[in-house]
Every structure is written in C-alpha cells, then in structure tokens.
Amino acid sequence: MRRFFYPLAVIAIAVLTFAGCTTKKETANDVNNFRIQRGTNLSHWLSQSDERGEARKMHIQEDDFIRLDSLGFDFVRIPIDEVQFWDEEGNKLPEAWDLLTFALDQCVKHHLRAIVDLHIIRSHYFNAVNEGNGNANTLFTSEKAQQDLIEMWYQLSDALKGYSNDSVAYEFMNEPVAEDHEQWNDLIAKVHKALREREPQRTLVVGSNLWQGYETMKYLKVPQGDKNIVLSFHYYNPMLLTHHGAWWTPVGKYTGKVNYPGVLISKEDYEAAPDTLKKELEPYLTQVWDIDKIRADFKDAIEVAKKYDLQLFCGEWGVYEPVDRELAYKWTKDMLTVFKENDIAWTTWCYDADFGFWDQKKHTFKDKPLVDLLTAKE
C-alpha cells in the first residue's frame, strides 16, 4: 500500500475547513424571526364545525388570504380539533390535513404568518365545566391522555416541520381548565420537552390556566431560557357587553340595556331583569368599565411577559355580532389602544363567524366600520 504523509499544517487547515462547513445545531436559545402584530382567527372551519367534504373545502379559499393580507393583517390563528384530524382509533383523516397544509401554503404565498392552535381534544374541552360535563376533561388526571396529546403533536410536527420557524408557530392547547395551576404547569413542561426534542427552534404559544385568563397569568411557569415562546391570554371582559344576547352564556340571557364606558347596567334595568339573572348581573352594578379597567386587567400579563422577556399575545377578543355596534366600537378602540401601548399582538375572534367582520355566504363585509378600526393605518 502506498502511503502519503502530509505536513501537520495541512491537516490542521483541513480539519478547520470541515468544521466550518458543518451545520450549527439549532437550540431554543437561537431566537427565530416569528414576530406578529395583528391578525384574526380562522374559526369554525377546522374547529367547532360540522362541515365536511365540499362545504368545508370551500369555506376558506385563497381569496380569503389575499383579502387579509391586503387589509393589513400580518398573521392568522388557525384553530383545529382532534375530531377533524383523527378518528376515535387515532387514524388520520386526510382531508383535514390537506386543508391545513393548504392554509399554511396560502399564508406563505400571501405574506401571513400562522399559529396552528389545537383547540379542542377528546380529553379536554374548555366549556365542559360550563356545560355541566366537567368529568369529560380527563387530560390532567390521565397519563394516557397526556401522552396522546404529545403523540398528536408528534404527528403535527412531522407534517408541518418543513415550514419555516419564522412563519409558523404551534399553540399546543387552547384554554386549559385545570383544577390546580400546577397541573397545567406540569403539562406545559412535558409537552415543551417533547416538542423541543423534535423542533428546537419552533415558536410555541403558551397560555394561562382557566380559559387563558389574564387573572391566572401570574401562576404560569414558563420553561426557562427558551426565547421562542409567545405568552398568550384571552380577553372578553366585560362579558355583559361582549356577549350581550349570546344564548350560550348565562349573562347573555340578559336582554336589557347595556352601557359602555361606565357602569354597565343601571339600577333600574337591574331591577327590571328576571330574578334568575340577578346574580349574574350584580357584578356589573358598581364596577366602572373603561380603558383604565382594561389597563388594570392586563397588568399581570404584561408583567409576566416582561419577567420572561417574551412577546405577549391576546389570542382571542371580540364582540358578539348582535351587540349594539356603537358600544362595540368604543370597546374595540379602547382595546386597540391598550394593545398598542404595551406592544401586545392580537387575533380577533374572529374572521367570518358570529363575532366576525366578513360574510362568507354573501362574500362581503358584514361590519366594515369594525374592520376599518382593526386595520387603521397610522
């Protein structure tokens, strides 16, 4: 065998050159460019909907993404439900997966970032308690249910990991309702660890316990040292205003007059209300609701985001369509002001359903003044 002997200097240069060509291993400490400002929820499409087949396929089309981009939105939140993506045996239901990737491809094409939000799963539904079916939520007491959640995200990650970390984020569960805050914190740690083993740099959206309430943000424990996390809360207060006439909520059954800003209900209107509603209405008899109340409510969430040096995001907020529009606009203006003051990103609830501004059936704006408020250019 013929042998070649090279000077040590040549060997050293070769080693350094090879090392320089290797790919740097991604870690959660490497901050990506997933930056968001204003968006909307593409709700009641791949979540909370019985539409299937052609109706579901036609519900959201390319022109919707073109419209949102042209209006000045920079991202969307896409709620998805387990029942649309997996059957009861855990087998994939291909049509929903195709629609999700279609949506994400359209986001890329039309300059929109996206948050994929696992909204409702079989072991956890955020309204189960309100609907008297609290036992349906086994997620926080079942190791199997938690592993099933992780497995869902493994499959979602396998399908979506090709999208840039700068353009797609994962919200691994919507509106947790755990009896103890530590149950939710423990699950955050478990799912975070599992996803970070697969995707070290993907932005993960993490919300607070009890319906992503602003009140519980202070109990949230965020994985340390991970800068690719966005903290999320939801805000529909005061419910007497934002859900006035909403049949599915107790306070929504009130049909009398509502005021904003100020004290929401007069003593006279309270006395005229049915006795069955008076307990629901009592909190609104003395509390003044205005922009300063919103600022005060947001304080804890803002402080937590500062503590962890993470972006803050209000993933749901909005006013039910039948609510008096002038009151809705006043509240919306106050919300937008507080968002801007504190650099809080947001997605309205929602694009085209009963809190929305677009009518898919008539293919027109159903609330143009609202969309003008949301997209006002400064």
Give the tens place of pLDDT for each residue, 284-307: 999 999 999 999 999 999 999 999
At residue 136, the pLDDT reads 72
> pLDDT band at 153, cuts 50/70/90?
very high
Q: State percent of the chain over pLDDT 70.
A: 90
Count other Cβ atoms within 10 Å, centred on residue 182.
13
> pLDDT band at 13, cuts 50/70/90?
very low
At residue 25, the pLDDT reads 58
Contacts of residue 81, Cβ cutoff 8 Å, sequence gap at least 6: 46, 47, 48, 119, 120, 121
What pLDDT, in 10s, does the model give residues 304-359?
999 999 999 999 999 999 999 999 999 999 999 999 999 999 999 999 999 999 99
Determine phi and psi for 238, rounding to 5 degrees: -80, 135
d(CA 82, CA 98): 15
Q: Amino acid identity of 51? A: E
**Residue whose pair of structure tokens reads 């804890």 in the numeric block:** 300
Is the CB of residue 296 less than 8 Å from the CB of residue 325?
Answer: no
Q: What is the reported pTM?
A: 0.91
Question: In the predicted model, is pLDDT for residue 110 greater than 70?
Answer: yes
Count other Cβ atoms within 10 Å, centred on residue 144.
10
Q: Which of 372, 347, 355, 364 has its CA nearest to residue 115?
A: 347
Q: State percent of the chain over pLDDT 90.
A: 88
List the end-to-end C-alpha distance of the chain, in Å, as a whole number.
Answer: 76
Beta strand 75-81 with 113-120 is parallel
d(CA 210, CA 302): 18
Q: Tell me the three state secondary structure of residue 362.
A: coil
Q: Tell me the three state secondary structure of residue 171.
A: strand
313 strand-pairing partners? 232, 345
Is the CB of residue 206 less than 8 Å from the CB of residue 220?
Answer: yes
- Greatest Cα-to-Cα distance within the chain, rounded to the nearest angstrom: 104
Average pLDDT, the chain: 92
What pLDDT, in 10s, does the model give residues 15-72?
333 333 334 455 656 889 999 999 999 999 999 999 999 999 999 999 999 999 999 9
At residue 30, the pLDDT reads 84
User: CA angle 311-317-321, nearest 5°?
Assistant: 160
d(CA 25, CA 22): 9
82-96 mean pLDDT: 98
